[in-house]
Amino acid sequence: ATAPVGNGPFRFVRRDAGRRWVFERVAEFPEALGGAARIRRLVIAVVDEATTKFAGLASGDLHVAGISPAMADLVRRDPALRVVDYPVTFSTLLVFNAARPPFDDVRLRRAVDALIDRQRVIDVALSGFGVPADGAVPASHPWHQVAPRPGPAEADSLLDAAGWIRDASGVRRRGDTRLRFTLLSVGSGDNAVEQLIQADLREHGIEVEIRQLELGAFLATARQSPRTFDALYTGVSGDLSLSHLASMFEGRLAGGALDYAGFHRPALDSLFQATRAAHSAADQAAAWRAVQTALAGETPVSWIYHARGVQGITRRLEAVRMDLRGEMATVREWWLRPASGS
């Protein structure tokens, strides 16, 4: 877009393709809608490289920038900067192919879900910036439903009951077949989360082979019919209405962009229908909690963590609050203290 229709308390000035968007304050913005913004000019710069973002923050060329969790300590060491973290509607998950062995057995799905040390994943791979997922919806959401999962001992019992018994070497077998599966993911960075999952499951006799694909091949494999993968690790952007859960599991939306699992059941469809038919806030909350309970029972996916956004911000920038609404929900209130000596 080069001529946006409206920008709230800011007026669009220009766009330099691939470089920046420039906006100016609308001085006459109605008080009834919040009034004029405190900052006169807003420039949104396009910066992709993490090191370039940090350099811009350190030099003062950038006043706020999204940073990777690994960069947070570096930002904190600069007395002119601070780190802000906040909930975002993005979650990561292990998707099981419930249409083929071994994950056609819900006991296997529930056991694997229970054996992942989510706090370790967050501490090691995300420098602490995340929330362990106890289900599909983060605890910060008003419709969150606690979904108790088995402990490690119970998970081992589920595997035993399914016929997967440890041999003398500790590997689980059923007859002559070893309990093993291939985990697909997009090849980027060091794939630390996948390796931590692999280590957790190895401790309980499950062998995991990690196979990294480039994004196009990953999406093609994830969405082909019939599905041939065992399991895959991916992320999903959600929304406050939880409609992304319907996109993932409701039968009428099968084949859509978020239908990774291909897991659709009439009982789930009825529950999703109830979320749309609810006539009160209480009924809607109850309907969505019922969806979460059903998903926890079937475990078509294993939710790993709910992400947190991480931003580096100059200490001169005041009144910055970020939450589930996004990074710029309160931009009208931001203001910049004069630089020292000016």
Instruction: Quick: pLDDT tens for 112-130.
Output: 999 999 999 999 999 999 9
Q: At 111, which CATH number?
A: 3.10.105.10
> Are 184 and 249 within one domain?
yes
Residue 151 located in a structural domain:
yes
Q: What is the pLDDT of residues 253-274, one digit of tens each?
A: 999 999 999 999 999 999 999 9
Average pLDDT score over residue span 91-113: 98
Residue 145 located in a structural domain:
yes
Could you list the beta-strand ranges (E) of 172-292.
172-174, 177-178, 180-186, 207-213, 231-237
Q: Print the domain residue range for 289.
A: 88-307
> What percent of the chain clears pLDDT 70, i.e. is strictly above it?
97
Residue 185 located in a structural domain:
yes
> Are 140 and 287 within one domain?
yes
Alpha carbon distance 116, 128 (integer Å): 16
Q: What is the pLDDT of residues 153-164, one digit of tens each?
A: 999 999 999 999
> Are 316 and 294 within one domain?
no
Q: What is the pLDDT of residues 21-67, one digit of tens each?
A: 999 999 999 999 999 999 999 999 999 888 899 999 999 999 999 99
> Are 261 and 123 within one domain?
yes
CA angle 237, 241, 244 (to 5 degrees): 40
Q: What is the pTM of this model?
A: 0.86
Residue 1 located in a structural domain:
no
**Count of CA atoms in the C-beta half-sphere (13 A) of 3:** 0
Cβ atoms of 135 and 146 closer than 8 Å: yes
Show the 3-state SS of 304-336. EEEEEEEEEEECCEECCCCECCECCCCHHHCEE
> Are 163 and 268 within one domain?
yes
Q: Which residue has the tokens 């960075």?
A: 189
> Are 96 and 73 within one domain?
no
More confident residue, 164 or 7: 164
Query: With DSSP H G I counted as helix, E B as strand and the rest as coil, what are the percentages for the chain, rounded to 5?
Result: 30, 25, 40
Residue 103 located in a structural domain:
yes
Relative to beta strand 10-16, strand 177-178 is unpaired
Contacts of 242 (CB under 8 A, 6+ apart): 137, 141, 143, 275, 288, 291
> Are 43 and 76 within one domain?
yes
H or E element, residue 58:
helix 50-59
Domain count for the chain, please give it: 2
CA proximity to 150, closest of 159, 142, 141: 159
Residue 341 located in a structural domain:
no
Joined tokens for residue 108: 């296997």
142 upstream amide cis, omega within 30 of 0? no
> Are 150 and 266 within one domain?
yes
